[in-house]
Structure 1
Amino acid sequence: MDSDQFWAAPATTGGLKSYYRQYGQRWQQTRIELVHFRNDESIAQWQQQWLQQGLAIAQQAIALGQQPVAGFSFYTWNAAEFLALIRFLKQSCPELLIIAGGPHVQQAEDYLFDDPIDLISLGEGEASFQELLDCDGREQWHLIAGLAYLDKDGQLHKTSKRERTISLDELPSALDVMPLTDAQGEPLYESYSYETSRGCPFKCAFCEWGTGAIGGKMYQFSMARIRKDWELIIGAGVKDIWLADSNFGALKEDQAKAELICELKEKTGLPSSFATSWSKKHSPRVQEIALLLNRNGLLPHYQLALQTLTPKALELSNRKNMASNKYEPIAKEMAKAGVPIAAELIWGLPGDNLKDYERNLDSLLATFPNINIFGYTLLPGTEFYEKRAEYQIDAIPVAGYGKAKGEYVVGCHTFDRNEGIEGYFLISAHIILNHGHVMPLTVRYLALEGSVPVSPLLRSILRALIKGFEDQLVDFDLSDRMEVYEHRAPLYLAMLRQPAHCFSIIEATIFDWLSSHQASAPLIDAVSKTLQLDHAFCPRYGARQFYDIEVDFDGKAISQTLNEMDLPNKKMFSQPRHTLNITSPGGVGDFMKDPDGGSWVKGEFVEEQAIKLDEVVPVQIP
């Protein structure tokens, strides 16, 4: 199951079918149907098809002494929907055998005792699924490695460990059994999530990647296999390839993979984008790959996964980040080269606290042009999940996931629930004001200048904005900080409908903050002028528009300097009054409805000769 935002070919289940076709003893007598859902609506439609057609097929198989099987690949984003669907299937056909796999169900006891799941695949699933389909029934389950189930006495039974596949080319391609185009030759999917390697050498306590489910040592497919598959994907017109690798750039062969994707882009114009999880350790090879992809228009972002800078949280997470004197020059160099570099952080890790976290965030805001902050979701099968009692982890269900075993961590032995929830409020403020491109330049200027704290200011601004727009958002309890976190998009859209009101609130809050921290007059003046640029560049409703603003500072130099992660000099803030020409693509409320997409529709400078006079819109920016 995917989502409206991400629609990719079902490579995981396609791989299971392809494996059984090659190695299964009963392939000729077995019918395997791939079912792939885009959203909740498509699940409801399929349920009707099941009642009208599929149920009769399953019942006919049972009457003939055959065993119908339904397999589910579980991830955090589909667990609640799949659990509900499994209950529906079992109610309509109790004899249907249900097997679940995937990283989200590796804590098998959390599911087998409570949910109508018959078996869970532990670790890699291809061979286990094949052997299950080929066995003669329940009495042979104990002979199959990598399974968990309840025995006849209702006790949990786990079979022997499923050893990992070392030579990945032994796994046949999902593309052997999975069409990518319709009858007219048009692509069926927008994206393809592709593995070039398996495994992760790190044992982060919050992550499933390096655990026994996937394994620590990295193995990879051959370049011949990758080329064959990528040429098929591109040939079908699939526009995006997103890697499911854990540490792209860590293996020497990753350079050749990057060169291959650039070669395909040059020859065919596809893929449009190429995304991956980058190596946890930055190296000259990683940097070379990132620069290569950026030159070829294939780098939506290059992300350094720092997660936290708090020493205790790093220790408990089994992580060790590179020193700041190493990542700071990397960030600045890549920012100057136009590479969209970002730092990745997690709030809520045991060992952290909000005071240290915000101080570290302020440092990173002065280093990285982009920062992605995620709330820590406690995942089954991870070290922190197993040690939740030891670390006094306090968690609440992830919105919309119900019994998905996905939980926001809001407290632990180093921060209480109030502090934990305030951290989520900080994330909301950062996403709305920075990611939403409401005031990123002002935030960066203050972080670079360094005399006043920035992260607490973001929280203060968000509180003021909530108060200023609460009468327009009566369907939400904006006094509930977690509800703000989960429903930040409506607030963001309300702000952009009234940009003048929005920025008057922001300006007043900033000036109060600067005054309370005894800021100098030159600092207040510089912040005021930088905020004018943010107001001019802020995403807008409507169609593309051109507009002029009158300023008495060098807006282009200030913007460029800040984008290169340098502090503008005083001279830039004192210039003869002149006009800046700006264009905005519009699109807010149309195709852009969430602050995470704010940078896609931000304004930008435009040369005067490129503007038609009848397109100019007068804009009042104080």
Structure 2
Amino acid sequence: MITLVANPIRTCTETEGQVCVFSVSIVQQSAWDIPMDSVPLAAGYLKAVIEQDGELATQVDVAICNFRGGMTLPEMGRRLFTTGVPDVLAFSVVGWNYRNFTCLAETYKQLRPDGLVIFGGNHVSYQAQKVFREAPSVDVVINGEGERTFRELVSAVLAAPKEPDFASVHGLSYLDVDGTVQTTPDRERIEDLDEIPSPFLTGAIPLTDDAGRFPYEFALLETNRGCPYKCSFCYWGGAVGQRVRSFSRERLAAELDLFGFHQVETVFLCDANFGMLEADEEFVEDLARVRQRYGYPASLEANWAKNKSARFHRIVKELQAHGLKSSFTLALQTLTEDALSQMRRRNMKVNQWEDLVDWLEAEGLDCFAELIWGAPGDTPASFLEGYDRLAERVPRIAVYPLLLLPNTDYIQQRELHGFTTLRGQHDDFEYVLANRSSPLHEHLQMQRFMYLARLLGENQYFKRLWKPARLLAGLSQSQVIYSLLGWLETSHHPTVAAFLDSFPVIAESPAVAAGHRMLYTRPELDIEIQRWWGEAVVSAFPEQWQDFGTELYIFERWCRPVYQGPEDPLPAGWSLDDDQYLSDPVPFSFPMEELLEQLTAAHTHGPRWSPVTYRFRSTRGFYYHLDNHETGAHYFAHPELVSFSEHAPG
């Protein structure tokens, strides 16, 4: 008999324990430290599978241990093991938590030498040799989809706790008695996904905390599995099979209804290509009905289909008709033809993006683009040329460093491409630092560019500055970023120096999130950036536009989201209006929004002095979503015209 806390989602030691016949703990940890929990979807599937099995449900107690990215190893160990040590400890492994989980597995084996440690997830699937070499405390690695395999594995351990028959369970790797890695036959993909019980409808993942509130950053949901593409950098298609399989409409509609009832703000889909299937249109129809019934969800975020078909346009129209917000993605990765060819994306129509941008703009909708730096075939010059061409139409660009992920084409041909990589300090990803088309020093310089590009472009710290800089100062988006980088590197201001010292060697997401938060919590840093804007950029404007350029940064600052922590006072100049922030009246010398919309390359005459007053309105909650640029984008303030004078006095 083992005493263990039952069903702890947020921690594993904060409720009273109970006696169980057989105890299983499933551990997840999110990518980085954010103020809200992430939905433990993978663990929820496994818990639901066990609890919905007639034979296992009465014999097994399953606990989900869901940790935030910034939680320390000692704290995770305390929460995992203080009240009891489970019979089985299973980890949902990705690159960012691999090292932490190998350490926790080692501690577990000291506490429970006869216990079973299971690793599963894309990062370790078919990587048993590496896992067993680096993490000798791991007993079993699950390959491929894990739900059926996990259920059969638990059954095998229950049947013979001292000598489980691992060989009879398809879809796993294990060490036999002489230390040889044994891998059982692959398990067939799950054709009927409804076979997997819903972790939301079964209550395996509770949707409320002790105060009755939805406790997660957003609701994470799968509508299908599979990907038809075979991009060289990605294992999505290989991980779950090329053919796409869908959950039933009835199940998804029931889950959406539950989200609406609990007033979930955002649903985030982890499908590979949402908008590709007829079922995706049906999903949006059901989402719209739920929104009409409850007023929630308010937004849908997704990995959109790479090729935007007529179905995508219909889905966007449906979302727009029901006031559902979204961020529309152009997953281009690069605009360099040689690099596209080598990453197996040349046959995709993703670079026919101009018409799509025109259409979204005509509909009054925003989009953002995704690029990857470090692909073979790209050089800094070719990459930045594509970046600036894209930025003229889509300034919000997420630029990610190339990673070599397990089981991908890139990693299997690493010698051909001449990759030099570096493992992350706190994760197990291989970051590309050189390849045959770009040497090490170029990659290190590009990482610094990427870091600022992600802060200013991807996270939209600069949102309205790019176009005037290009049209009035002749600076491309990359030139603006490099201008600020050069200014930061020569500044003697202590806050600027601290910000510069925070620059990572590799522009990975946790570092970007930390830098983004620094921009919002160090007002003196923003003042210095404003000074750079005036000295380096506005000074290059035609003289008649310079007053406008000076005020533009102030306008940009008021249009940013309002950052207020749970214990912080209201920021200066802001008050509360129901559940929104409303600014005091702010005077400007020009109709800023109107001028920004009308500004073209043909503008040679300066703007007329026409005083206006705006108030700015912003939704509350940005503090909790700053780390995710897609959900954070919904919190930008909007100017509301209060007064306008067409003529200068006298």
TM-score grouping bracket, smaller chain normalisation: 0.7 to 0.9
Q: Which 10-residue stretch deviates more, 498-507 or 104-113? A: 498-507
Alpha-carbon distance in structure 1 between the residues aligned to 2:621 and 2:256: 34
* 1:101 and 2:120 are equivalent in the alignment: yes
Alpha-carbon distance in structure 2 between the residues aligned to 1:528 and 1:434: 24
**Are 2:171 and 2:186, in contact at CA under 8 Å, matched by a contact in 1?**
yes
Name the SS for the 2:400 alignment partner: strand
**Are 2:231 and 2:343, in contact at CA under 8 Å, matched by a contact in 1?**
yes
Deviations 1:86-137 (A, max 9, x none): 2221222222111111112122322121102111111000111111112245
1:490–1:261 distance in 2 versus 1, CA, 3 Å = closer
* 1:413 and 2:416 are equivalent in the alignment: no
1:439–1:19 distance in 2 versus 1, CA, 3 Å = closer
* 1:605 and 2:642 are equivalent in the alignment: no
* 1:426 and 2:449 are equivalent in the alignment: yes
**Are 1:242 and 1:275, in contact at CA under 8 Å, matched by a contact in 2?**
yes
1:362–1:450 distance in 2 versus 1, CA, 3 Å = farther
Name the SS for the 1:346 alignment partner: strand
Give 2:100's match in structure 1, choosing from 81, 93, 112.
81
**Are 2:335 and 2:383, in contact at CA under 8 Å, matched by a contact in 1?**
yes
Give 2:529's match in structure 1, choosing from 492, 495, 502.
502
Q: Which amino acid aligns with 2:120?
A: G
Alpha-carbon distance in structure 2 between the residues aligned to 1:6 and 1:291: 31
Alpha-carbon distance in structure 1 between the residues aligned to 2:70 and 2:458: 28
Aligned ranges 1:332-343 → 2 under 5 Å? 332-343=358-369
**Are 1:441 and 1:531, in contact at CA under 8 Å, matched by a contact in 2?**
no
Q: Which 10-residue stretch deviates more, 264-273 or 352-361? A: 264-273
Alpha-carbon distance in structure 1 between the residues aligned to 2:628 and 2:212: 35
Correspondence for 1:34: 64
Q: Which amino acid aligns with 1:208?
A: Y
1:338–1:496 distance in 2 versus 1, CA, 3 Å = farther
How far is 1:391 from its partner?
1.6
Size of the aligned set, in residue pairs, is: 581
Aligned ranges 1:365-376 → 2 under 5 Å? 365-376=391-402
Aligned ranges 1:15-94 → 2 under 5 Å? 15-23=45-53, 25-41=55-71, 44-45=74-75, 47-55=77-85, 58=86, 68-94=87-113
Q: Which amino acid aligns with 1:181?
A: T
Name the SS for the 1:250 alignment partner: coil
* 1:327 and 2:353 are equivalent in the alignment: yes
How far is 1:17 from its partner?
2.4
Alpha-carbon distance in structure 2 between the residues aligned to 1:153 and 1:542: 68
Aligned ranges 1:37-436 → 2 under 5 Å? 37-41=67-71, 44-45=74-75, 47-55=77-85, 58=86, 68-106=87-125, 107-115=127-135, 116-135=137-156, 136-137=159-160, 138=163, 140-175=165-200, 176-178=202-204, 179-182=206-209, 185-211=212-238, 213-320=239-346, 326-399=352-425, 401=426, 404-435=427-458
Name the SS for the 1:345 alignment partner: strand
TM-score (structure 1 length as normaliser): 0.84
**Are 1:12 and 1:174, in contact at CA under 8 Å, matched by a contact in 2?**
no
Alpha-carbon distance in structure 2 between the residues aligned to 1:86 and 1:488: 32
Q: Which has the higher helix share?
A: 1
Alpha-carbon distance in structure 2 between the residues aligned to 1:489 and 1:356: 27
Q: Which amino acid aligns with 2:111?
A: S
Alpha-carbon distance in structure 2 between the residues aligned to 1:248 and 1:598: 21
* 1:533 and 2:565 are equivalent in the alignment: no
Alpha-carbon distance in structure 1 between the residues aligned to 2:203 and 2:141: 24
Aligned sequence identity (%): 25
Q: Which amino acid aligns with 1:31?
A: D
Alpha-carbon distance in structure 1 between the residues aligned to 2:627 and 2:547: 26
**Are 2:516 and 2:626, in contact at CA under 8 Å, matched by a contact in 1?**
yes
* 1:555 and 2:592 are equivalent in the alignment: yes
Deviations 1:410-456 (A, max 9, x none): 21111111111222222222233334545433323455689654413
Q: Which amino acid aligns with 2:389?
A: S
* 1:581 and 2:613 are equivalent in the alignment: yes
- Name which structure has the greater RCO, CA cutoff 8 Å, separation 6+: 1
Deviations 1:136-188 (A, max 9, x none): 45562122111012233323222111110111122222232413235665445
Deviations 1:354-379 (A, max 9, x none): 10110001111112252222222322
Alpha-carbon distance in structure 1 between the residues aligned to 2:81 and 2:351: 62
Q: Which 10-residue stretch deviates more, 364-373 or 35-44? A: 35-44
Q: Which amino acid aligns with 1:222?
A: S
Q: Which 10-residue stretch deviates more, 352-361 or 328-337? A: 328-337
1:224–1:509 distance in 2 versus 1, CA, 3 Å = same
Alpha-carbon distance in structure 2 between the residues aligned to 1:592 and 1:172: 29
1:119–1:284 distance in 2 versus 1, CA, 3 Å = same
Alpha-carbon distance in structure 2 between the residues aligned to 1:450 and 1:475: 29
Q: Which amino acid aligns with 2:138?
A: I
Alpha-carbon distance in structure 1 between the residues aligned to 2:164 and 2:477: 63
Deviations 1:192-228 (A, max 9, x none): 21111000111111112111x2111100011111112
Deviations 1:65-96 (A, max 9, x none): xxx21111112333333222222212222221
Name the SS for the 1:53 alignment partner: coil
Correspondence for 1:570: 603
How far is 1:254 from its partner?
0.6
Alpha-carbon distance in structure 1 between the residues aligned to 2:637 and 2:602: 23
1:425–1:48 distance in 2 versus 1, CA, 3 Å = closer
1:6–1:307 distance in 2 versus 1, CA, 3 Å = farther
Alpha-carbon distance in structure 2 between the residues aligned to 1:43 and 1:557: 52
Q: Which amino acid aligns with 2:491?
A: G
**Are 2:388 and 2:477, in contact at CA under 8 Å, matched by a contact in 1?**
yes
How far is 1:251 from its partner?
0.5
Q: Which 10-residue stretch deviates more, 201-210 or 454-463? A: 454-463
**Are 1:180 and 1:187, in contact at CA under 8 Å, matched by a contact in 2?**
yes
Alpha-carbon distance in structure 1 between the residues aligned to 2:212 and 2:639: 41
How far is 1:232 from its partner?
2.5
Correspondence for 2:577: none
Name the SS for the 1:130 alignment partner: helix
Q: Which amino acid aligns with 1:233?
A: F
Name the SS for the 2:64 alignment partner: coil
Stretches of structure 2 that go unaligned for 5 or more consecutive residues are 1-28, 563-570, 575-582, 645-650
Alpha-carbon distance in structure 2 between the residues aligned to 1:243 and 1:592: 17
1:305–1:502 distance in 2 versus 1, CA, 3 Å = same
How far is 1:576 from its partner?
2.7
* 1:482 and 2:482 are equivalent in the alignment: no
TM-score (structure 2 length as normaliser): 0.80
1:483–1:99 distance in 2 versus 1, CA, 3 Å = closer
Q: Which 10-residue stretch deviates more, 99-108 or 148-157? A: 148-157
**Are 1:70 and 1:98, in contact at CA under 8 Å, matched by a contact in 2?**
yes
Alpha-carbon distance in structure 1 between the residues aligned to 2:533 and 2:118: 53
1:85–1:24 distance in 2 versus 1, CA, 3 Å = farther
1:448–1:206 distance in 2 versus 1, CA, 3 Å = farther
Alpha-carbon distance in structure 1 between the residues aligned to 2:480 and 2:623: 30
1:80–1:601 distance in 2 versus 1, CA, 3 Å = same
* 1:14 and 2:35 are equivalent in the alignment: no
Alpha-carbon distance in structure 2 between the residues aligned to 1:187 and 1:37: 17
**Are 2:471 and 2:601, in contact at CA under 8 Å, matched by a contact in 1?**
no
Alpha-carbon distance in structure 2 between the residues aligned to 1:177 and 1:601: 31
Stretches of structure 1 that go unaligned for 5 or more consecutive residues are 59-67, 515-520, 611-622
Q: Which amino acid aligns with 1:269?
A: G
